[in-house]
Structure 1
Amino acid sequence: MLHHVELYVSNLRKSTDFWGWLLEELGYEPYQSWEDGRSWKLGPTYLVFVQTEARFLDIPYHRSRVGLNHLAFYASSQQHVDQLTSQIKERGVQLLYHDQYPYAGGSEHYAVFFEDPDRIKVEIVAP
């Protein structure tokens, strides 16, 4: 079982707005908060977002480099994926593979793909 994931972000406020909304829609609850970080928890697993030090901001994240490619979460249903997709669009979030929605992951894989403020790919999958 996964204990936690910690992500360093370029702009904690933007990431908190983005991830806080999304994670709470998926059932996570605020867990920890301090000057340079926030976390949300669901069951025993939590996600942490920490402000990157200024000296590292000139090295941007890219999901195709070595490291994290994307995070995938379960929605409660296909309707939940559709609801979140509508909300994602309303928030002006960059959708990925929108021309193949909701089957960009294959004919048996009902999901939406999009990017967070640092361009980390996020996937929401119907069970």
Structure 2
Amino acid sequence: MQQGVIHHIEINVSNLKRSVTFWGWLLEELGYEPFQRWEMGQSWKIAETYIVFVQTDEPFMDVPYHRRRVGLNHLAFHASSRQQVDKLTKMLKENDVKILYTDKHPFAGGQEHYAVFFEDPDRIKVEVVAP
């Protein structure tokens, strides 16, 4: 294993079922495979890295996530091509997922940065970037 490569990322979610539905199709489109599943969580893996979604405990479910607070701002994934970014954008729209920066899409990150930006069910910003 290469030093410094992320081992895993764990994200607490307000509604596990809703998050699994959202993230499952997206991660599998990006090449991840289902990895672990238990009553309060589920994960997907690609190579040696996995992403875990865990149901938030009851006392914390009403505290909303906001990317502008201290902590995670967003997750960005590599796409295989501009065509894959376009395909994902179409799928996101068909599923009524909020696309961010629509006035600048697909160059919201700059003229050399072909990507789609959107939000997951807990409003975590996600980015998929073409090479």
Alignment of 1:27-42 (within 5 A): 27-42=31-46
The aligned counterpart of 2:72 is: 68
Pair 1:3-2:7 in alignment: yes
Alignment of 1:75-94 (within 5 A): 75-94=79-98
Report the identity percentage: 69
Unaligned runs of 5+ in 2: none
Alignment of 1:1-127 (within 5 A): 1-127=5-131
> What SS class does the counterpart of residue 88 from structure 1 fall into?
helix
What TM-score do the two structures reach when normalised by structure 2?
Answer: 0.96
CA RMSD of aligned residues (A): 0.4
Distance 2:62 2:122 in 1: 13
| Runs ≥4 residues deviating over 2 A | none
Unaligned runs of 5+ in 1: none
Aligned residues: 127
Distance 1:62 1:4 in 2: 21
